[in-house]
């Protein structure tokens, strides 16, 4: 195992690992537990820690501001999309992997809560490009030249994206109503053969009764994206993540990749988590109310025994341009799930609509002729 070499930028330290054979910078190999030299292929094994991945007490951490768990890192900020991510020493000009904008800036030192665990990359860059190409080919109503232009423009960047997970026990007091169905006979009049006739029918109705009570829940690893640089509707579709395979954080896994700094802090992250827990809590309440239908008029939830983890998840990310507009796409670095933004060909959509109307018109004519 090589010793990390320390390089200085504005008197702050950045960790990198040198090849014992040729001195080049080592890179982590996705899907393995080794670093490899990109020039001479020499490998360094990454020590597999036996350390448990511990949950940290949420309230105790906020009370002390977690001074013992802060890390100082070098980050660069994109002025266009506001993303903040790690950078190499002495690099002042580069392309933002989140929006494709050119960045000319000096790295600055920032303090953040240290991530305690991560999921290492499993999907390689080559596999990622293949998955992206397959995703482009499967897009309906895409412009004919999209695949060629996107593949020429897209540059995959391996990014460790920050997340929070929260565990908590909940106690919820609620008020509402329980609805119970019953059937009643209803009389009505209608016209038949030009005459008014009186008939009856069975109608389902609901009786409502007041309901109140308390329900208890327990939540484990409520996952919250701590980045504001990525479109949340796409990152959520990258799930699920195999969090059972988390490993303790080690710099060796980061070599050859970038790390984004969190923009949603610990306290605000829990507010997002509360929103994610709302639907399951409402299901508990409805189950407790019982009956055939339920109405919830109020809920008051207490959160106890809150713990959290700060972790990094692997995402291949890039931005490609099509007709002067930037589109972003993401690849889950563990499963290969691809999500992203795409342009539409309105000409193809219009032709499809016209063709569909023509088919419907043809069917109508055939039916009319047969009658």
For the segment 8-12, the average pLDDT, to the nearest whole number, is: 33
| DSSP H helical ranges for the chain | 58-64, 125-137, 146-153, 232-235, 266-289, 346-370
Is the pLDDT score of 363 beyond 80?
A: no
At 104-136, the pLDDT tens digits run 555 666 778 888 899 999 999 888 888 877 877
Q: pLDDT-derived band of residue 268, with 50, 70 and 90 as boundaries?
A: very high
pLDDT at 276 over 90: yes
Chain center to CA of 87: 23
Report d(CA 135, CA 112) in Å as an integer. 35
Choice among 34-48, 294-308, 339-353 with the minimum mean pLDDT: 339-353
Q: Say yes or no to pLDDT of 343 above 60.
A: no
Q: What is the pLDDT of residue 96?
A: 72
Domain range summary for the chain, segments of one domain joined by +: 4-174+211-340
CB atoms near residue 88 (< 10 Å): 15
Q: Residue 272: what pLDDT?
A: 95
pLDDT band for position 154 (cuts 50, 70, 90): low
pLDDT grade, residue 82 (50/70/90)?
low
Comparing 306 with 133, which gets the higher pLDDT?
306
Task: Decide if pLDDT at 197 tops 70.
Answer: yes
349 — pLDDT class (breaks 50, 70, 90): low
- Whether residue 165 is predicted with pLDDT greater than 50 in this model: the reply is yes
Q: How far apart are CA 141 and CA 70, in angstroms?
A: 48
325-338 average pLDDT score: 86
Q: Is the pLDDT of residue 178 over 70?
A: yes
């Amino acid at each position: 195992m090589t010793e990390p070499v320390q390089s200085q930028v504005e008197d702050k330290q950045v960790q990198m690992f040198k090849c014992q054979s040729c001195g080049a910078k080592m890179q982590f190999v996705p899907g393995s537990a080794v670093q490899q030299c990109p020039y001479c292929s020499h490998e360094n094994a990454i020590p597999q820690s036996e350390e448990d991945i511990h949950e940290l007490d949420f309230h105790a951490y906020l009370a002390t501001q977690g001074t013992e768990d802060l890390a100082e890192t070098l980050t660069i900020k994109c002025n266009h999309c506001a993303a903040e991510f790690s950078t190499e020493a002495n690099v002042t000009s580069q392309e933002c992997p989140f929006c494709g904008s050119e960045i000319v800036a000096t790295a600055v030192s920032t303090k953040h809560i240290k991530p305690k665990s991560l999921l290492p990359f499993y999907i390689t860059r080559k596999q990622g490009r293949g998955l992206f190409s397959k995703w482009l080919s499967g897009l309906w109503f895409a412009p004919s030249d999209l695949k060629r232009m996107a593949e020429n423009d897209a540059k995959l960047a391996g990014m460790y994206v920050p997340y929070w997970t929260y565990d908590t026990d909940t106690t919820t007091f609620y008020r509402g109503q329980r609805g119970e169905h019953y059937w009643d006979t209803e009389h009505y009049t209608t016209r038949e053969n030009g005459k008014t006739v009186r008939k009856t029918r069975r109608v389902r109705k609901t009786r409502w009764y007041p309901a109140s009570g308390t329900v208890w829940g327990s939540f484990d690893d409520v996952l919250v994206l701590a980045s504001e640089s990525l479109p949340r509707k796409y990152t959520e579709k990258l799930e699920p993540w195999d969090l059972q395979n988390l490993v303790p954080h080690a710099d060796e896994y980061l070599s050859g990749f970038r790390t984004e700094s969190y923009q949603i802090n610990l306290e605000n992250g829990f507010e997002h988590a509360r929103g994610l827990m709302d639907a399951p809590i409402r299901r508990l309440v409805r189950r407790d109310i019982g009956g055939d239908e339920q109405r919830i008029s109020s809920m008051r939830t207490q959160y106890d025994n809150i713990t959290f983890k700060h972790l990094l998840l692997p995402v291949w990310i890039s931005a490609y341009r099509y007709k002067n507009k930037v589109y972003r796409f993401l690849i889950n670095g563990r499963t290969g799930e691809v999500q992203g933004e795409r342009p539409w060909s309105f000409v193809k959509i219009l032709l499809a609509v016209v063709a569909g109307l023509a088919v419907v018109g043809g069917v109508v004519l055939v039916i009319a002729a047969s009658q």
